[in-house]
Amino acid sequence: MNQVPTAFSKRPRDDDESVHVESKRHKEEPTVDHAPKSSYLVVHTVSCEGDTYHSHHEENAYYLDVPRLFAKDSKANAVRGTHEIEDLEQFLEENPGYDFVVIKAYSCGEYYKNHEAEFEEIGDWKLRTKIPSEQRAYLYTLPRDLPPAVQEDESISHFSQDMVEALKALDALCHWDGAFNFAASDHFDLRAPYTIIYHSRMSLNDYREKGVDIIYWPRIDAFRNYILGSMSMDYAEADAYFSKNKLTPRHLTKLFRKGDVLVTQRDGNQVGLLCKSVSYSEPRVCNLECESWTFDGVFRRKVEPMRVVWPSGSSLDAISIVALEAFPLRFGGDELKQRLKQRGQMLWSCRFRKYVTYEESSSAPDAQTTNLRFMVDMSTYKTLHPTPANAPHDPTSTGGHGIDQAAMKAEEPPGDNFLLTLPAKVPGFGFHNKRWVDLSVGNIKEVSWDKNAFQKLVMNGQKKDLLEALVVAQGDRSHNKVRDVIEGKSNGLILLLHGPPGTGKTLTAESVAERAQKPLYRVTCGDIGTHPEEIESYLESVLSIGKTWDCVVLLDEADIFLEERSPSDLKRNALVSIFLRVLEYYDGILILTTNRVGTFDEAFKSRIQLAVHYPSLQRLDRARIWKIILDSIKDKGDVSDDNIFALADYPLNGRQIRNTIKTASQQAFYLKSRLTLGHLQTAIDVANEFEDYICRARGQTDEERAEDINARAPERRV
């Protein structure tokens, strides 16, 4: 291949030496007789848009040498080489033996723009005015040869069948995964900067040790050495930027590779996507096809396109890689990878049903209230929110391509970046507001049960022990030796907690749920409605969910259901009858609270396993409550134990004590000071003004009023 082929047309410049037919052989060819030699051809192509002066130029012309303009050329001359190939396909047919063809592309118009100042004018201005505009290009000439053109693009094509077989031998080793369209043989091409080669350089450097047949070595070496040689400076520059987590527009095409886990933002959350393919259709734009997982009770693959565009307004200078709208996870650091993995592990643990805590950071003084409890249960969610029959099909969904039941039941999740590419949000049911909302999985935590909840209750020790015993026994059904003769009846634990407001009834229900390690489903009369049909339906749904999720159900302030029936109020009678019927078959822990037990219907006595009375708080009780609540907040401030006993002199109930501490803490937070006794006394004084006003308006205290209407009995004074 050392002779210049004859099947080309030579330009009339016999003194030019820029004729090239490049035939390269690896310096370390195999020392076997049958080892083939390898060669490739470099072709230079000039494209011209054919403006006024260049309308006669070929749209695309091919040469064996680098094109340029020469001395005495006018502005009408084409940028050209000295050895033209009139028909590339014919040339290759007449000159077989090349394993691949390198095509370097140039622009005639850009070359002229860059060398406009090199031309000299011919003749005076009078002559120029007499010549038609389309011929004025001939009034300019070059005094000397111009430098060779600078290529704008490059590609490799026209692979021989032997070269295709050599590339096939590398396909699995280099993880190209079919990026070469081998079926097309000589019709597929690679474009510079040959990103697929950039990403597989390590494999290409040691392919001989990986068992690739020796017969392919020369062709692989020629292919590899050309690309790594011609792109060496470009690749080295990219490596230098990437090592600093930096990027310029020139190297955007090298950033993404098939198989990368990418990170992008979705609704305020960083999510992982698996890159399946990369293409570049325009400058500074990467077109990606990505795959991730969706979860609706079943994990399914989702394929979606993504465009990564160089940030508008950014200069040609380097920017941080993580500033892109999507970037490879390998540039995000170990902390980000670990965070995505932990988030995926949490979602995997929620795949069937999971009771969780949801934490959101807050700088507020009462930030502990942000630790809310949710149930993640996609099966129940889908039952309550079925997909409409006419809902449009999601074109990004792969349908049945998901995880089978055997894999779902396995303790360990699938591998291959599965955890990294799971969704960042999942629906959860909030027990505080009875609503389904989308939860950020990163904020979901395991429930930390308060094992000391019962010890914190301010109540009689015997009552506390009995309650705890009933709760523990209900959790272990083997202790329930007394069963109803009618299957399914009276198998639950139904408790009635009665007493004045703020004495610990609701707190007891919360403690029962913590001790039993079950969700607390709290229902108030305002949630239920007023019509008997609505009430029955709502109660049945509540108790059904309570059974499904194994909840402790709390009917707080259940006075409307517990009041005694009378012949004159049929609507109330219907409500009581409905409630009695629902209670009859409930199989779980159900807690009722009321502060009007004096109006209690006698039919409930036999339905309730244990009724617990909560008397008004005494001074020592109040002191314990003050201390427990103050110890639970982030900054107790400057409140001493002596201060606590002084505060206990105020006749406040538990809820009023909690509200006082919350109000005083917020005032201290606003004033940027620590909590003091003064803040607490100010809150008490303001609140007591309202209590005193209500008492004067009614002419009696709340206790006296409750006694007068027979809602509660007079307290026994010790």
pLDDT in tens, 429-444: 999 999 999 999 999 9
Read off the tokens for 702. Answer: 């709340």
Residue type, 216: Y
SS3 261: strand
Distance CA 289, CA 279 (A): 9
Q: Kindly report the pTM of this predicted structure.
A: 0.79
Give the phi and the psi of residue 604 in degrees, each rounded to 5.
-80, -20
Q: What is the pLDDT of residue 49?
A: 84
Give percent of the chain above pLDDT 90.
Answer: 52
Instruction: Point out the least confidently predicted range of 71-75, 576-580, 677-681.
Output: 576-580
Who has greater pLDDT, 53 or 382? 382
Query: Based on the domain organization, do 351 and 381 belong to the same domain?
Result: yes
Q: What is the pLDDT of residue 506?
A: 92
Asked, for residue 716, whether it belongs to a domain, the answer is no
Query: Based on the domain organization, do 275 and 131 belong to the same domain?
Result: no
Asked, for residue 631, whether it belongs to a domain, the answer is yes
Name, of 3-17, 119-133, 588-602, 663-677, the range with top average pLDDT.
663-677
Give the confidence band of 184 by pLDDT, cuts at 50, 70, 90.
low
For residue 616, pLDDT beyond 60: yes
Distance CA 228, CA 230 (A): 6
Query: Based on the domain organization, do 516 and 404 belong to the same domain?
Result: no
Burial of 43 (0-12, 13-18, 19+ CB in 10 A): buried
Asked, for residue 599, whether it belongs to a domain, the answer is yes
**Alpha-carbon separation of residue 73 from 84, 118, 137, 302 (angstroms):** 17, 11, 10, 59
Distance from CA of residue 393 to its chain's centroid? 22
Closest CA to 207 of 189, 221, 190: 221
Distance CA 355, CA 445 (A): 9
Question: Tens of pLDDT along 16-45?
Answer: 333 333 333 333 433 334 445 678 999 999
Q: Return the sign of the alpha-carbon dihedral for residues 209, 213, 219, 224.
A: negative
CA angle centred on 239, ends 236 and 241, rounded to 5°: 110
Tell me the pLDDT of the chain averaged across its residues.
84
Please write down the HEC assignment for all residues of 645-707.
HHHCCCCCCHHHHHHHHHHHHHHHHHHCCCCCHHHHHHHHHHHHHHHHHHHHHHCCCHHHHHH
Of 581, 613, 645, the domain-final residue: 613
Contact 256, 275 (CB under 8 A): yes
Query: Based on the domain organization, do 167 and 45 belong to the same domain?
Result: no
Distance CA 130, CA 43 (A): 42
**Alpha-carbon separation of residue 482 from 325, 479, 491 (angstroms):** 65, 9, 9
- What is the bridge-based pairing of β-strands 190-191 and 153-157? antiparallel
Give the confidence band of 183 by pLDDT, cuts at 50, 70, 90.
low
Q: What is the pLDDT of residue 69?
A: 97
Distance CA 680, CA 671 (A): 14
Q: What is the pLDDT of residue 279?
A: 87
Asked, for residue 570, whether it belongs to a domain, the answer is yes
The secondary element (H helix, E strand) that includes residue 435 is: strand 435-440
Q: What is the pLDDT of residue 283?
A: 81
Who has greater pLDDT, 663 or 174? 663
Query: Based on the domain organization, do 352 and 327 belong to the same domain?
Result: yes
The upper half-sphere exposure of residue 217, i.e. CA atoms within 13 Å in the direction of its Cβ, equals: 20
CATH of the domain at 675: 1.10.8
Average pLDDT (298-320) is 88
Question: Tens of pLDDT along 500-547?
Answer: 889 999 999 999 999 999 999 999 877 777 777 788 888 888 988 999
Read off the tokens for 187. Answer: 């019709």
Distance CA 237, CA 377 (A): 51
Strands of 79-238 (E only): list them: 83-85, 100-107, 120-121, 140-141, 153-157, 190-191
Give the confidence band of 565 by pLDDT, cuts at 50, 70, 90.
low
Q: What is the pLDDT of residue 313?
A: 74
Q: What is the pLDDT of residue 706?
A: 62
Q: What is the pLDDT of residue 657?
A: 94
Instruction: Point out the least confidently predicted range of 26-40, 303-317, 333-347, 577-591.
Output: 26-40
Distance CA 31, CA 381 (A): 70
Of 448, 464, 493, the domain-final residue: 448
Q: What is the pLDDT of residue 14?
A: 34
Question: Tens of pLDDT along 103-128?
Answer: 999 999 999 999 999 999 887 767 76
Read off the tokens for 344. Answer: 């995926």
Question: Tens of pLDDT along 342-387?
Answer: 999 999 999 999 999 998 765 544 444 467 999 999 999 999 988 7
Distance CA 42, CA 22 (A): 6
Q: Return the sign of the alpha-carbon dihedral for residues 43, 49, 50, 54.
A: negative
Q: What is the pLDDT of residue 297?
A: 93
Read off the tokens for 272. Answer: 């992982």
Distance from CA of residue 108 to its chain's centroid? 48
Q: What is the pLDDT of residue 658?
A: 94
Contact 648, 619 (CB under 8 A): yes
Q: What is the pLDDT of residue 400?
A: 53
Of 582, 613, 644, the domain-final residue: 613
Read off the tokens for 704. Answer: 């006296």
Query: Based on the domain organization, do 91 and 72 belong to the same domain?
Result: yes
Read off the tokens for 512. Answer: 């029962």
Query: Based on the domain organization, do 223 and 204 belong to the same domain?
Result: yes
CATH of the domain at 473: 3.40.50.300
Distance from CA of residue 498 to its chain's centroid? 47
Query: Based on the domain organization, do 487 and 368 belong to the same domain?
Result: no
Asked, for residue 109, whether it belongs to a domain, the answer is yes
Query: Which residues, at least 6 apart from 154, have a Cβ–Cβ distance to it below 8 Å?
Result: 102, 103, 104, 105, 191, 192, 230
Q: What is the pLDDT of residue 526?
A: 73
Q: Residue 206 sits in which domain range?
A: 161-230
Give the confidence band of 661 by pLDDT, cuts at 50, 70, 90.
very high
Q: What is the pLDDT of residue 31?
A: 37
Distance CA 633, CA 369 (A): 11
Asked, for residue 204, whether it belongs to a domain, the answer is yes
Distance CA 54, CA 347 (A): 64
Average pLDDT (69-75) is 94
For residue 704, pLDDT beyond 80: no
For residue 13, pLDDT beyond 80: no
Q: What is the pLDDT of residue 455?
A: 84
Instruction: Point out the least confidently predicted range of 126-135, 149-158, 217-226, 578-587.
Output: 126-135
Query: Based on the domain organization, do 23 and 152 belong to the same domain?
Result: yes
CA angle centred on 34, ends 31 and 36, rounded to 5°: 90
CB count in 10 Å sphere of residue 485: 6
The number of domains in the chain is 5
Terminal Cα distance for the chain, rounded:
116
SS3 579: helix
Looking at the DSSP bridge assignments, the partners of residue 265 are 270
Query: Based on the domain organization, do 648 and 507 belong to the same domain?
Result: no
Instruction: Point out the least confidently predicted range of 194-203, 425-434, 686-695.
Output: 686-695
Q: What is the pLDDT of residue 11?
A: 40
Q: What is the pLDDT of residue 29?
A: 38
The one-character DSSP state at 403 is -
Asked, for residue 718, whether it belongs to a domain, the answer is no
Average pLDDT (554-561) is 82
Query: Based on the domain organization, do 223 and 116 belong to the same domain?
Result: no
Query: Based on the domain organization, do 150 and 97 belong to the same domain?
Result: yes
Contact 214, 32 (CB under 8 A): yes
Asked, for residue 250, whether it belongs to a domain, the answer is no
Question: Tens of pLDDT along 229-287?
Answer: 999 999 999 999 999 999 999 999 899 998 999 999 998 999 999 999 998 878 889 99
Give the phi and the psi of residue 144 in degrees, each rounded to 5.
-155, 165
Buried b (16+ CB within 10 A) or exposed e, 452-472: ebbebbbbeeeebeebbebbe
Q: Is the peptide bond before 567 cis (omega within 30 degrees of 0)?
A: no
